[in-house]
Every structure is written in C-alpha cells, then in structure tokens.
Structure 1
Amino acid sequence: MYEYILNVIADVVIEFIEGLVETYPGLEYLDVFPLVKVVLRADVSAATYDKVAVISGGESGHEPTHAGFVGEGMLTTTICGDIFSSPPVDSILVV
C-alpha cells in the first residue's frame, strides 16, 4: 500500500504551478486552456514588451522545473508538459 502527499496524481503539475504562482507574485498561470500549462511573467504583455521573449517547454519530471526559471533576466514564459511527457506541440500557439 502506497501513501502519497498528493491530492490527485493527475493534478500534481497544476497544483505545483498554482503553488508556485501563489508563492511568487511576479508570475501568472495561464489557465484558459485546461490541457496547456503555461507560466508567464506577470509584468509582460504583448502590447508593451519590446524585447525578445524567451520561451521554454519541457516535461514535468519530478516537478515542472522550467517554471522555476521564469522571471526578470531569465525566461519570459514556459510551457509545462505532464509527468515525463513533453507539452503538446500546439500549446506553443497559445503563448
């Protein structure tokens, strides 16, 4: 019998992202599309951003590690995949 400290295993990535966004107010979670998990800088909007946006995507192994690199001077946004799988190809179009 295994015991987990997770509520629902299928929601672990979303719960991690929501916790990260609550901890760091400079981040936003784009939760418009349920299958696309996007973390982005809260101070960046397409209308006012005059720099090159650096976007990264990757799987969420033990946690969505790329989400921890979003911030000023680092990534503009990241797209998180599910546990041990890359994000969907079409998810880059959302960003």
Structure 2
Amino acid sequence: MSDLADFGLIGLAVMGENLALNVESRGYRVAVFNRTTEKVDDFIAGRAAGKNFLGCHSVEEMVKNLKRPRKVMMLVKAGPAVDALIEQLTPLMEPGDIIIDGG
C-alpha cells in the first residue's frame, strides 16, 4: 500500500475537518494542511486519530505526498488568502493536477 495520499485538503475549520473526515470514511487517504500548524496537529491527534490521514506542516510537504494526478481542495476564506495559496500551489503542480477552491 502506498503511503501517498489520494486527496489533499487545505483549511481545517469546521467545514474542512468534516469534509476531510467524510472523504477518509469512503476509503481514501487524505493529506491535510492548515496555515496554523497547531490546527493540523490537534486534528490528527483528535478527530482524525487512528484514521487514514497525513498531517502536513507546509503546502510543499502536502503536494509532495499526493498521488498523481494530484487533487487539492482549498477551504479557506475567499479573498487574498485564496490568491496567495494558488500562487504557492501553482509552481508545485503539474499538467493534469487539480486545484479546487471550495471556500
């Protein structure tokens, strides 16, 4: 079994946590990232404990640990934060990879 995640999710507020748990419950390994890394650690130790998650402390770490083609969903507040994340993600992605803005 590959240690790479099937799906990446950025943003662990209420909606992000619940979506990540839902995706994982369907048999997928999920890599999660949040700008505030303590939120990642709390989620992995709490609601995600014992489940098929990979907690990441950087966007680069998350992208590196995704199966190709990579699928990343962002659940962050609309505005400059989304633009900044897209700018950060774009050079790390390849043709065929997907970025979904769900915020």
Greater relative contact order, per chain length (Cα 8 Å cut-off, separation 6+): 2
Same fold (TM over 0.5): no
- Bin for the TM-score computed over the shorter chain: 0.3 to 0.5
TM-score between the two structures when normalised by the length of structure 1? 0.33
TM-score between the two structures when normalised by the length of structure 2? 0.31
Please state which structure has a larger fraction of its residues in helix: 2
The structure whose Rg is larger is 1
